[in-house]
Amino acid sequence: MADLLTIENLGNLVMLCFLQAVLGFDNLLYISIESQRAPVAHQKAVRFWGIIIAVVLRVVLLFVMIRLIDGLSAPFFVLNWEGVLTGGVNFATLVFVLGGVFIIYTAVKEIGHMLSIEHLTTDIEGKSGKSAAQVIGLIVTMNLIFSFDSVLSAIAITDVFPILAAAILLSGLAMLVLADGVTRFLEKNRMYEVLGLFILLIVGVVLLGEAGQAAAHAMHDDTLALKVFGYEIIPMSKTTFYFAVVVLFAVEILQSGYTRKLNAERRTAARH
């Protein structure tokens, strides 16, 4: 126990908690949006159990990855369709591709649904089209996909399992505390739900970008980087991602304020 309570480990724990907080934003957003698809009476329980199960499985994933990091890093195969598609594909590549495609599909589907509805009140009442178990399953699955990137990043900082597990548990506790508040905010401000879906769309693109370099980074071999039509797939930096999110929020806030001002002027003009 004394070996764990060192300045280095405590510093790593603080760094890992910060990393989990930064990388966990999109995860929390997905949980808040997806939980609204469950029956209204079960939504709070869905968020709670979805996060609890996901955190437990994330710790299991961490344990497995520490033990099997070399096997998971090695490419399953190398694509060699010269001029069209080249590069290595390992376990992380598959996770990022499948996760990215699924998130993009989900975001586009939900955006299309919101554009097609005629009455928002009807949509609010009828949007709970999945069972609680289905939603929990989706939350857990996507949590693991989101976790893969953060776990890989965390292992790069330290391989001390108790420290890594503590950071995961603390991030899970933070999600439990924040999930209900984020969901209530989205319910009261439905315009931000659309914004959230567009952010998830960007997250899907980010995951696809991560897939491009997964095998190359794992094996420290740049020749394994995925290339499409000769162009290397470059991951979006976290700085760029969060800058885009901030810009989206700023535009939404300014647009909302401007719209309210226009509506107020129109009402004033109509009365005169």
DSSP-based three-state secondary structure for 85: strand
Same domain, 150 and 268: no
**Rounded (10°) angle between helices 191-219 and 132-157:** 40
Structure-block tokens of residue 27: 């995860």
Same domain, 157 and 245: no
* Residue at 197: amino acid letter: L
Same domain, 141 and 261: no
| Residue 213 is assigned to a structural domain of this protein | no
Q: For residue 131, give Cα distances in angstroms to 34, 35, 38, 47, 121.
A: 12, 10, 6, 13, 21
Same domain, 154 and 253: no
Confirm if 161 and 62 have CB atoms less than 8 A apart.
Answer: yes
How is residue 3 annotated by DSSP?
T
pLDDT at 129: 60
DSSP-based three-state secondary structure for 78: strand
pLDDT at 83: 83
Range of the domain at 51: 7-75+91-188
| Residue 85 is assigned to a structural domain of this protein | no
pLDDT at 217: 81
Same domain, 13 and 129: yes
Bridge partners, residue 226, by sequence: none
Cα–Cα distance between 135 and 141 in angstroms, integer? 10
| Residue 195 is assigned to a structural domain of this protein | no
pLDDT tens, the chain, 272 aa long: 556 667 777 777 787 777 677 666 677 777 887 888 888 888 888 888 888 888 888 888 888 877 776 667 788 888 888 888 899 888 878 878 887 888 888 788 777 766 765 554 544 444 556 778 888 888 888 777 777 767 766 776 676 788 888 888 888 888 888 888 887 877 777 667 778 778 878 888 888 888 888 888 878 888 888 899 988 888 888 788 888 888 888 888 888 888 888 888 888 888 76
What is the number of domains present in the chain?
2
Structure-block tokens of residue 235: 């991951």
| Residue 164 is assigned to a structural domain of this protein | yes
The neighbour count for residue 77, using CB atoms within 10 Å, is: 9
Which of 146, 172, 188 marks a domain boundary?
188
Cα–Cα distance between 1 and 200 in angstroms, integer? 40
Tell which residue, 208, 200, 213, has the closest CA to residue 244.
200
| Residue 50 is assigned to a structural domain of this protein | yes
Confirm if 232 and 212 have CB atoms less than 8 A apart.
Answer: yes
Q: For residue 157, give Cα distances in angstroms to 11, 46, 215.
A: 10, 32, 19
Same domain, 164 and 248: no
pLDDT at 177: 85
pLDDT at 122: 46
